[in-house]
Amino acid sequence: MKKNYVLIIYLLLLLISCNKSPVKNMDKQEILKQGSQLFAKYGCAVCHSLEGKKVYGPPLNGIYMKEITVLRKGKEFKVVADRKYLKKSILQPRFEKVLEFKNTEMPIATFPEEEADILVEYIIALGEKN
Ligand code: HEC
């Protein structure tokens, strides 16, 4: 019986430690501020417009939960641009490509996952009406 408690506490601690991304404690204003700083710092703005224009890559405003046709291993798929999709697009741009932009390449990122989380929330916040 005692052993079970130890196990449950251990699992709870594990769960808490997995969930400590700093973005969870940020309000929208902080996300917009830090997000725009990262967006500039990593040169995302060179290729991505936030006003709906196509630059080198697709515009990123309003893409949250949009249906996107992607190319994965040569096959077409329709996916919904949820948090998971956005994060994967940022951290592993080669996993799947936006069909419409299949001939252009996004550079592979080398920044911490926590910053990718902020960028994801930033992209989502941009699409929300105030
Ligand atoms: C050199 C140009 C370039 C830079 C710099 C760049 N990207 Fe991209 N990005 C692209 C291209 C091209 C695509 C579409 C092709 C693909 O999916 O690989 C893309 C796709 C994306 C997508 C998926 C969009 C969609 O419509 O599904 C996201 C999200 C994204 N980029 C975010 C970022 C963020 C955040 C940064 C900065 C950390 C960044 N990109 C930097 C060129 C770039």
- C-beta of 126 in contact with ligand 1 (< 6 A): no
- C-beta of 87 in contact with ligand 1 (< 6 A): no
Residue with tokens 């994060």: 87
Query: What token pair was written down for 54?
Result: 């196509």
**CB of 32 closer than 8 Å to CB of 128:** no
- C-beta of 68 in contact with ligand 1 (< 6 A): yes
- C-beta of 89 in contact with ligand 1 (< 6 A): yes
Nearest Cα residue to 123 out of 21, 20, 25, 32? 32
Measured CA distances, 67 to 64, 78, 99 (Å): 9, 7, 12
| pLDDT per position as a tens digit, 61-83 | 999 999 999 999 999 999 999 99
What local confidence, expressed as pLDDT, does residue 19 receive?
Answer: 59
Query: Can you say how many angstroms the Cα of residue 95 is from the centroid of all Cα atoms in its chain?
Result: 14
What local confidence, expressed as pLDDT, does residue 113 receive?
Answer: 93
Query: What token pair was written down for 36?
Result: 């725009």
What local confidence, expressed as pLDDT, does residue 14 receive?
Answer: 76
